[in-house]
A and B are shown apart, each in its own frame.
Chain A
């Protein structure tokens, strides 16, 4: 398996522009997570999906952030409009949550976002 795939790996954009980050989870995994990592705040969970349904989006910073999972093999995280304080590394992770306890999360390589 290729692991969790994220694109783009790097994104530089200007304040006010729309940014879309993409994630392909590991085939067969039923849960997907979006994280944001910064020096100031560490690793923050933004949202997670189970069986393509958003379960907890309490970590989404504000209405400028939105996430979708139209099918089991694809998810997007969109920021509109983007602001300089959104600059961070965004990780996608997937796992199998089967009700017997937490499973290992498999992380993608991340997208480094810079908003000028």
Chain B
């Protein structure tokens, strides 16, 4: 069965600093990988997804993620964080004939001015 781990419950960064949110998955073959963002009081919104091809994926709002098969990771990055990026971030994985993603527990991003 597929699973995903987000090791960091909370991450605090200063506005303008770079960001990396970690995501590790467990799945035997090539997975389908997603990052979603949830702003307070709202539903989840897709930031980016990886299905195949280039392992560096560009998403909305200036985010990118890199698929590293050797490390079973799909970390989310942004070179310069804005205060409006404060939110909950979820990594998700699907595969193995099941197209239903399994979500991680989420990482809460706090941005200091």
Contact = CB atoms under 8 A, between A and B. Distances in A.
A34 interface: no
Given A4-B43, A93-B43, A109-B43, A102 B94 contact: yes
Contact of A91 (B44, B101, B106): B44
Contacts of B34: 104
A61 interface: no
Contact of B100 (A4, A43, A102): A102
Given A43-B90, A43-B103, A102 B44 contact: no
Interface of A: 4, 33, 42-43, 45, 48, 56, 91, 93, 97, 101-110
B78 to A, nearest CB: 20
B99 A97 contact: yes
Contacts of A91: 43-44
A93 B92 CA distance: 14
A4 B90 CA distance: 19
Interface of B is mostly: strand
B42 interface: yes
A91 to B, nearest CB: 6
A81 B90 CA distance: 31
A107 B44 contact: yes
Interface string B6-44: 000000000000000000000000001010100001111
B51 A101 contact: yes
Given A43-B103, A109-B41, 12 more contacts: A4-B43, A45-B100, A93-B43, A101-B51, A102-B100, A104-B49, A105-B46, A107-B36, A107-B45, A108-B43, A109-B43, A110-B43
